[in-house]
Structure 1
Amino acid sequence: MNWYVVYTKPKWEKKVAEQLKKSGIECYCPLITVMRQWSDRKKKVEVPLFNSFVFVQLPDSDRNLVFQSVGVVRYLFWLGKPAIVRDEEIKIIKKGLDGTDSCEITIVPFQIGDKIALDSGPFSTQTAIVQEVNNTHYVLVLESLGCVLKMKYK
């Protein structure tokens, strides 16, 4: 059986997955835990990894059964046919979200004097030296062009 991608109403992914499971349809809605902040508190909440998408596994002949669930809009199509996701890809998503192979990632900002290679934008393939690091921007010196570049954070 193939895995298909079902497009749902916005914010209905978990509800649709629950309804499909109750109907006996194999489905998968990958969830991640994120910290959300309101004006009075912070809270960890589970949100879908892919907005408005739920994966379903069923025979091609039973594809219309998903439309019995409220919140299902349509199937996702690729090149005029329903998009098919391979079992290996679903397993990779599950393994990635499993958390047993966790690793710690640290992002270190550029320091003054660092030599960096620009890989995108109009100055791609140029090297620059970091002259200033601010809360809102970097100042880079492009020696080969003889100019100073101010880049804002996004």
Structure 2
Amino acid sequence: MNNTLEAKQPRCVDEKSSRWYIAYTFSRAERAAQRKLEMIGVSSYVPLHKVQKNWSDRKKILETPLFPNYIFIYASQTRKYEILKMKEIVNYITFEGKAVTVSENLINSIKKIVEHDVEVTSLDYSPGMRVRIKEGPLAGVEGKLLKKNNKNFLLVEIEILQRAVAINISCDTVVPV
């Protein structure tokens, strides 16, 4: 099962000036923003993960955004202003007045984790030792090591959001960076 909403590659993107930006969306508008961006030829990424929801009469597995109210948008400097006119987008995440960009490596790490359908926990940001997975399907994914309740987790962070994705991992499979 595909755990991401990902737009098709745009027809004419200026690769040199395009960057991955993080935009804040209105509540539960990530997927609508994704669809509208796809219609205008802009690549975007909404990482999804499976969550079990329990109601009084049933349980159901739903795919929900890993980072609620956020969408990653691959756009040029000029297109990013056009995108702000969309009613689903509130604003870009900024630092000192400038829209923050994230690396392609970070996007690929998040994609790799979500695509391999490992148990994912979304945690608030917590600093730790930087490590890289050395083997297996997630080989090459980098993050910070965190220990919680006697379990080891690898954090793949989005520092500007002070959020991270955490996967349960054995210390035997990681090496210091």
Q: Provide TM-score, normalisation by structure 1.
A: 0.62
The equivalent position to 2:69 in structure 1, one of 6, 27, 52, is 52
Structure 1 segments unaligned to the other structure (5+ residues): 103-108, 111-154
The answer to whether the aligner puts 1:31 opposite 2:31 as a matched pair is no
* Aligned equivalent of 1:42: 59
Residues 90-135 of structure 1: per-residue CA shift (max 9 Å, x gap): 0010011111737xxxxxx88xxxxxxxxxxxxxxxxxxxxxxxxx
Compute the displacement of 1:80 (Å).
2.2
For structure 1, which segment, 82-91 or 38-47, has the greater mean C-alpha deviation from structure 2 after superposition? 38-47
The equivalent position to 1:89 in structure 2, one of 89, 106, 118, is 106
* Structure that is richer in strand per residue: 2
**In the aligned structure 2, how far is the partner of 1:40 from the partner of 1:66?**
42
* Aligned equivalent of 2:121: none
Structure 2 segments unaligned to the other structure (5+ residues): 1-17, 118-136, 139-148, 151-177
**Rg larger in 1 or in 2?**
1
SS in 2 for 1:61: helix
The answer to whether the aligner puts 1:67 opposite 2:79 as a matched pair is no
Compute the displacement of 1:70 (Å).
2.5
**In the aligned structure 2, how far is the partner of 1:84 from the partner of 1:53?**
13
Compute the displacement of 1:69 (Å).
2.6
SS in 2 for 1:30: strand
Q: Provide TM-score, normalisation by structure 2.
A: 0.55
Runs of 4+ aligned residues of structure 1 deviating over 3 Å after TM superposition are: none
Please tell me the residue identity of whatever aligns with 1:95. Answer: K
**RMSD (CA atoms):** 1.8
**In the aligned structure 2, how far is the partner of 1:55 from the partner of 1:34?**
21
The answer to whether the aligner puts 1:80 opposite 2:97 as a matched pair is yes
* Aligned equivalent of 2:115: 98
Please tell me the residue identity of whatever aligns with 1:78. Answer: F
The equivalent position to 1:2 in structure 2, one of 16, 19, 42, is 19
Q: How many residues align?
A: 104
* Aligned equivalent of 2:35: 18
Please tell me the residue identity of whatever aligns with 1:25. Answer: V
